[in-house]
């Protein structure tokens, strides 16, 4: 996980990062997914949107489909 927010967000904005695996058996690759919600979005609103994320076409290095697992212990939410 990067742990560092993008530098172009306005003060008070939030961002979050999730490290996810894929649907490949015993595949070691993890991918970091970063969301930059609209200014004024709350942490609760972001978490409520997670189950609605569409990950079609987001693949690991071995070309396996990334799978979102909830609840996710590798989620980082930061506020600027």
Q: What is the pLDDT of residue 9?
A: 54
Statement: the pTM of the whole predicted model exceeds 0.75: no
Mean pLDDT for 46-69 is 87
Distances (CA, A) of 37 to 44, 50, 59, 60: 12, 12, 22, 24
């Amino acid at each position: 996980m990067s742990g560092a927010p993008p530098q172009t967000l306005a003060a008070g904005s939030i961002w979050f990062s999730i490290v996810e695996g894929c649907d490949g058996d015993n595949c070691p690759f993890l991918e970091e997914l970063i969301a930059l919600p609209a200014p004024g979005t709350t942490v609760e609103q972001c978490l409520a949107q997670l189950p609605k994320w569409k990950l079609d076409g987001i693949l690991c290095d071995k070309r396996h489909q990334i799978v979102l697992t909830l609840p996710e212990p590798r989620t980082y939410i930061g506020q600027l």
